[in-house]
Amino acid sequence: MSPSERAGAVLTIDLDAVRANYRALKAQLRGGDCAGVVKADAYGLGMERVAKTLAEAGCGTFFVANLDEGVALRAVLPEAAIAVLNGLGVGETETFAAHDLVPVLNDLGQVEAWRRFLASRGPRPAILHIDTGMTRLGLSTPEAARLAHEPERARGIPFACVMSHLVASEEADNPLNVDQLVHFRKARERLVPALGGVKASLANSSGIFLGPDYHFDLARPGVALYGVNPTPPRPNPMRNVVRLEAKILQLREIDRPGTVGYGATHTVEPGQRIATVAAGYADGIPRSMSNRGFGVIAGKRVPLVGRVSMDLITFDVSAVAPEEARPGKTITLIGPEHSVDETAREAGTIGYEILTRLGRRYRRQYFGG
Ligand SMILES: *Cc1c(COP(=O)(O)O)cnc(C)c1O
């Protein structure tokens, strides 16, 4: 038995579903271009495999968070446009150039640094990020006004696009969406003297579903590619990508009243059966799922009982036939029958966090691609 076969839990990533999700998002854009956001190791699913799959599906532009991710992705995709969201750090210009990476310029200092660099090295594209309400990264409103009045600050930079990021796009009725759209359009118009008729990018996954006004030239979906619902509370239009199955290590037939796990937070009675499964908070199962989560075995939902511990969780499998819930059988923790979104709700978090915390001890297997 190889170490990977011995693993207590198996994480299966469906690359065919990633590809189908990319195509579905692209179809929504009706001719507009669609990038792939693959930061944080493609939301925990493995940047190399995911990025190759997206490139084969026709994706030509990728976004990562930081420079190291950009350098790693360049080694995988020699041809793609790769943009780095966290911006151009001090002393990083040479590394950006050496790996042909596109900096997202987040303030006037970064614009200045890139302009100076290009003055000696010739034109290389950048993206200009305008803050329209996130108050995180991007040019502030006064900075954008300054650039509009002093267009020479950006002279010689071939901008691939101007972008902004939506703060509440998964809430279709939130008035902030329209506010940001208006803000973005105005900022783009005012910046024509500095940037010319530059392309624009606003929508993340959920932004795509706010309608064509939000599409501009390039969309930047991440989480929807990986199967998380971009349109809550409506049904999920995306295909499920992740399946996580954990082995039952031991089955306890309860013969006297007792409690389960640390802190004795769950009581059991004779006749109940408790299955102990090989995954815990060290594998990214949130401890907040203690006494709140569910798994699925033999088509039945079974409650997670007791505390999530570091390497183990426990389920009450009393409702499942004994031959279906014995050591060696697996319980599905995440899959089409118990989605990332449901898992996140039970844990009091969001699908993004569930995905990006998926652990390193799972046997990872890829399907399709
Ligand atoms: C992460 C990120 C995205 C992708 O967002 P999703 O909600 O995962 O689609 C797009 N743009 C920016 C600036 C981001 O940081």
Q: What is the pLDDT along the chain (369 residues), one digit of tens a residue?
A: 676 667 789 999 999 999 999 999 999 999 899 999 999 999 999 999 999 999 999 999 999 999 999 999 999 999 999 999 999 999 999 999 999 999 999 999 999 999 999 999 999 999 999 999 999 999 999 999 999 999 999 999 999 999 999 999 999 999 999 999 999 999 999 999 889 889 999 999 999 999 999 999 999 999 999 999 999 999 999 999 999 999 999 999 999 999 999 999 999 999 999 999 999 999 999 999 999 999 999 999 999 999 999 999 999 999 999 999 999 999 999 999 999 999 999 999 999 999 999 999 999 999 997
Tell me, using a 6 A CB cutoff, whether residue 266 lines ligand 1: no
Look up residue 325 and give its DSSP letter: S
Cα(206) to centroid of ligand 1, in Å?
Answer: 9
Report which of 233, 201, 219 is spatially closest to residue 128, judged by C-alpha positions. Answer: 201
C-alpha distance from residue 89 to each of 81, 86, 127, 266, 277 (Å): 19, 8, 14, 50, 44
Cα(87) to centroid of ligand 1, in Å?
Answer: 14
Tell me, using a 6 A CB cutoff, whether residue 279 lines ligand 1: no
Tell me, using a 6 A CB cutoff, whether residue 205 lines ligand 1: yes
Report which of 229, 101, 114, 87 is spatially closest to residue 171, judged by C-alpha positions. Answer: 229
43: three-class secondary structure by DSSP? helix
Is the pTM here over 0.95, yes or no?
A: yes
pLDDT of residue 334: 98
Report which of 135, 87, 95 is spatially closest to residue 111, judged by C-alpha positions. Answer: 87
Tell me, using a 6 A CB cutoff, whether residue 194 lines ligand 1: no
Distance CA 48, CA 25 (A): 21
Element (H, E) at 315: strand 313-316
Cα(213) to centroid of ligand 1, in Å?
Answer: 18
Edge to edge, the sheet with strand 61-64 lists 36-37, 61-64, 81-84, 102-105, 126-129, 159-163, 200-201
Tell me, using a 6 A CB cutoff, whether residue 37 lines ligand 1: yes
Q: Are 95 and 71 in contact (CB under 8 A)?
A: yes
Distance CA 92, CA 131 (A): 22
Cα(222) to centroid of ligand 1, in Å?
Answer: 6
